[in-house]
Amino acid sequence: DTEVTQTPKHLVMGMTNKKSLKCEQHMGHRAMYWYKQKAKKPPELMFVYSYEKLSINESVPSRFSPECPNSSLLNLHLHALQPEDSALYLCASSHSLGGETQYFGPGTRLLVL
Amino acid sequence: GENVEQHPSTLSVQEGDSAVIKCTYSDSASNYFPWYKQELGKRPQLIIDIRSNVGEKKDQRIAVTLNKTAKHFSLHITETQPEDSAVYFCAARTNAGKSTFGDGTTLTVKP
């Protein structure tokens, strides 16, 4: 299995809602990543997990809360988002940090109303 | 932090011609340089990558070169086909797993 899966594919939420994005991989990768991509822009790194520990937080607002419950699963909890948070949220994984191929999931397209 | 500049932002070529996209990076700690192709509404797809201990890598019609001293790397696509049309991103990554992407190049291959 060489795939990263993400659910849901699409999500519409109000500014007072709480929702979660889910990412899963069964490749035995120990590094997992969250990226945010706005239209016509490159992916921007948000968080990096290595061996289930948060290793990088790119000064992301606290309304985004990552969680890595086990080596296969990565969640992104969303609360009190703003309309400007609407974007494609991409999860990725790699065998380890550094010079390793990253595999991207298909993304969750989020719309905040 | 790392800054990756990518040029050109748009590139239009005739089918069969070559396309070259160039990137420069600033952080000497970056040691892994992937190139991604992203079609509209799809995920970024790795097409080729190069590590800092290698100067050149080729995979069929696609090649990448890296000049560590000058901190720049380039993507070369030969014999372009209409299905090569997409947005291409370069990226630079450190051992800590921090990736910085260029702003992207929209490649259009005209039949």
pLDDT confidence tier of residue B1, bands split at 50, 70 and 90: confident
Q: Which residues of chain A have pLDDT under 70?
A: 1-2
Residue of chain B minimizing CA distance to A93: B97
* CA–CA distance, B61 with A1 (Å, rounded to integer): 27
Alpha carbon distances (Å) from B58 to A55, B48, B65: 33, 8, 9
| Structure confidence at residue B111 (pLDDT) | 94
Among partner residues B52, B96, B104, which is closest to A42 by beta-carbon distance?
Answer: B104
Alpha carbon distances (Å) from B30 to B2, B57, B76, B88, B101: 8, 18, 21, 19, 12
Probe site for chain A from B43, B53, B93, B103 (most A CB atoms < 10 A): B43
Question: What is the SS3 assignment for A72?
Answer: coil
Partners of A90 on chain B (C-beta within 8 Å) are 43-44
User: Up-side HSE of residue B80: CA atoms within 13 Å toward CB?
Assistant: 21
| Structure confidence at residue B52 (pLDDT) | 87
Task: Assess contact for A60 and A9: CB atoms under 8 A.
Answer: no
Q: Do the Cβ atoms of A45 and B98 come within 8 Å?
A: yes
Partners of A98 on chain B (C-beta within 8 Å) are 31-32, 93-97
| Structure confidence at residue A98 (pLDDT) | 76
| Structure confidence at residue A92 (pLDDT) | 96
Query: Given a cut of 70, is residue B34 above it in pLDDT?
Result: yes
Q: Do the Cβ atoms of A42 and B42 come within 8 Å?
A: no
| Structure confidence at residue A2 (pLDDT) | 65
| Residue labelled with tokens 């065998």 | A95
| Residue labelled with tokens 């609407």 | A86
| Structure token digits, residue A61 | 């607002």
Cis preceding linkage at A83, omega within 30: no
Q: Do the Cβ atoms of B103 and A42 come within 8 Å?
A: yes
For B36-95, what is each residue's pLDDT tens digit? 999 998 999 999 999 988 899 999 999 999 999 999 999 999 999 999 999 999 999 998
| Structure confidence at residue B62 (pLDDT) | 98
Residues 57-86 (A) with a CB less than 8 A from some CB of B = none
| Structure confidence at residue A1 (pLDDT) | 59
Query: Given a cut of 90, is residue B2 above it in pLDDT?
Result: no
- CB distance from A38 to chain B under 8 Å? no
Task: Assess contact for B88 and B95: CB atoms under 8 A.
Answer: no
Q: How far is A17 from chain B (nearest CA, A)?
A: 25
Residue of chain B minimizing CA distance to A56: B98
pLDDT confidence tier of residue B18, bands split at 50, 70 and 90: very high
